[in-house]
Each structure stands twice: as structure tokens, then as C-alpha cells.
Amino acid sequence: MKKLLVLNLLFSLMLWGCEEEETDYSGMITGTWVNTLVNYTPILTDSSYVCEFRSDRVELYAIGLQQDENNKSWIENDQYTYRVEGKNIIIEGSDMNNHETRMVFEIISLTDKLMTFSVPEFYMDGVADPDSKIYTCTKVTEDYSHQFTGIWYGRCTTPGTTDTGTHYWEYFDDGSFNYYYQNDLGQWIRKSDNDGGYFLYGNLMVSNYTNDLISGGTGKSFECWNFEIDGNKITWTGLRQNEQTITYEMEKVASVPSIE
């Protein structure tokens, strides 16, 4: 009898081990993931990055990069491939600056909504660059592109903001947008040197644009915002430096006013 119980126990352990080995992480990671936590702490919204694991084993990586002293841009790069070995996601390819990159994401936990992982290996042009952080990403499950396109009118509602004016943003389905501001004479002006575009990853919106005298800066820049749409209203929020949350509230409108 004891021998039979021991055999049953061993058989159960073997089955459990097989089930563990057969977990299909490659199927579970397929899709788009937005980084929201580092070491289990919320990150600044502008520090977000995006990973898309495609079914053809191509991996897209998107992040904001400082290109030089005056320019930074959000860039998408799909020059990576990936494979899954056990709990490891092995990613190889060329980064935005053509550096040969190899990284290993070791999955700590994975559900249909959240993935937490470490990066035990990271090599650039064959040189190791250790990374001891723990990353948590949220899976994109909704497509807001249809609701997002159109014209939005509103303002920053953060107490104490220096941006006290109202604005129009006009988003097109090809990823371009127009920005309109009001000058000291009350005239509405379309910013002519926008030279940017926008990206949507679920409820994360990223826009590239060109600085000018309005902001006091020069060169190219980008911003990341989390948004919520409720009917014809939209709210943007962004966690910025010093743990300050900036909020914009807008309403969808039919058109912009007469433009100078």
C-alpha cells in the first residue's frame, strides 16, 4: 500500500513538472505592453516605453530618446527578433543607432494584464551593461484610435499651472496632428512648424513636436500622456518631475475657429 502511495505521489509530481514545462509563454506575451512600474514604483509618464511582441517573432520597441542637447524624439524600432525559452524572452537585433543588441527578459510573473520581469542579460555591441531593475508592463487591450481622432478643445486644470490659456488639438487618422494656440490679440494660430506625429498604445498617447517661442525651447521634443475618454470629453494625465501630476481636460468639438 505504501509503495502504491509513493508511486502515485511521484506520478503526480511528474505531471505537475510537465505542466510547468508546457506553459506557453510565447502565446501569453504576444501583443503590446506598456511599461508602468520600475522596481514596483510608478515611473514618470515621459519615461514610458513600449514593447510589441508580434506573432511572426518580430519585436517592436518604442521609447523616447535624447538625440543631442536640443533634440529628443519618440522612436519606434522593429529591427528586433525574439524567441522564448522557458521563462526567458531572448531579444536580438539593432537599436535605433544601429548598435547590435541582445537582451534577456526573465519573466517573474505573467497574467493576461500584467507582466513583471528582470533583465539578467543586456549586451550592446558585445559589451555587457548590467541591469538590476524589475520592470512591470501593462498589456494593451483596447484600441482608442477611432475615438481619439478629431478636434479637442480645452486647457490645463492643474492648480498653479503656468499654462493658463485654452488650446485646440486636431488629430488625424494618419498619425499627424495640428496644434492651435491663441496669441495676445486673441487670434487663433495654427503652429506651422509642428513637424511631429502621435502614437497610441491603448490609453497611452505620445506626441512628437517641435519647440518654439511658445515654450521657450528649441529643437524637437516629445510628451507622453495617459488619457481617459468619456463620451465627448477626454482627460490627459502625466506624472512629471517632483511627483507632480499634470492634467488637461478637453471636449471634442466640430471645428476650430478662424485661423490666422
Query: Out of 2.40.50.100, 2.40.128.20, 3.40.50.12140, 3.30.930.10, which CATH number does the structure's domain 145-253 have?
Result: 2.40.128.20
What type of residue sits at position 233? K
What's the pLDDT score for residue 11?
46
What residue segments make up the domains of the chain, in order of their start?
Answer: 23-139, 145-253
Is residue 36's pLDDT more than 60? yes
What's the pLDDT score for residue 218?
75
When the pLDDT of each residue in the chain is averaged and rounded to a whole number, the result is 90
- Long-range CB contacts for residues 127-130, cutoff 8 Å, separation at least 24: none
Average pLDDT (197-209) is 97
- Contact (Cβ atoms closer than 8 angstroms) between residue 82 and residue 91: yes
Which cell numbers hold the place of 65? 530618446
What type of residue sits at position 7? L
pLDDT band with cut points at 50, 70 and 90 for residue 10 = very low
Would the CA dihedral through 172, 208, 136, 125 be positive or negative?
A: positive
Which H or E element spans position 26?
Answer: helix 25-29
Tell me whether domains 23-139 and 145-253 share a fold: yes
What is the CATH topology of the domain spanning 23-139? Lipocalin (2.40.128)
